Structure 1
Amino acid sequence: MKDLDFLDPFLESATSVIQQVCNVDISRGEMSEREWLSPENHTWIQIGMTGQLQGSVYFGLQDQLALRIVSAMMGGFPVHEMDEMGRSAISELSNMISGNATTILSNKGVAVDITPPTVLLQDEMQGITGTALSAPLDLHDMGRMEIQMVVVG
């Protein structure tokens, strides 16, 4: 598999899971290999990977999109700030996406284990540099999500 092929299962899974949770159409942007990008005003969730694929996957949600997704996960209850319950919900979303993605990878013969999700603040993202596999997901009127993967080795 080429490096970009490793990102595709995460995009496929994110599209499926978020469509189910939020009942929204999603357009997928083009996958690319580029310098790490950490846009401002985003909520970031990191999932570590071990096994045949080592590194991390980062889900970057525009802050307002993260609140909208948390609201959808809580049955439409309005959410105005990312509190502990919101971080738990968005972590569970990334767990669902990553779990499905590892199943897809396993079906392609790539054994990957994932770590529990970590919600990262913007200032915690500043130390990440290098090349990432990246692709955006446009959730139309809800906002935009970035999925970036840093593969080690």
Structure 2
Amino acid sequence: MITIRNLSQDNIETALALSVDDWQRKYVRSNAEMIALAYVQPQELFPVALYAEEELVGLAFIKKEAKAAIMTLEQIMIGQPFQSKSFGSESVREIAKWIETQFACTLLQASIQIGNQWGRETLENAGFMKRGTDLEKREIEMIYIMK
């Protein structure tokens, strides 16, 4: 079972050490870069640590959009040793639940680069639907309608 915790002094070193396979690096920014962005945009970008039991397995970054009812899943990454164990989809479902308790949000959106089939399947397995394709950005736009 995945639980969401704050990123803190207690877990930041472990979070920074998490990485994905080489072939996946073109689809995600490094954890250090994303944490830095969250640090300079504390009212807009929220980092969360994803735990399976007591082990940190990944990170997610959620952005609050200017439109109050919309949030964006900017990035989710599950560390390479923890992949292929359903942690990705379970984490996305838990993130959606967490957002519902923290924000007045009706729509969660995400974008996946064309070719990132694992990322797309992760979102679809968590209940996201395809909204459209942005060929200029080479991204597939996905949405999750909150209950």
More helix by share: 1
More strand by share: 2
Higher RCO structure (Cα 8 Å, ≥6 apart): 1
TM-score, normalisation: structure 1: 0.32
TM-score, normalisation: structure 2: 0.33
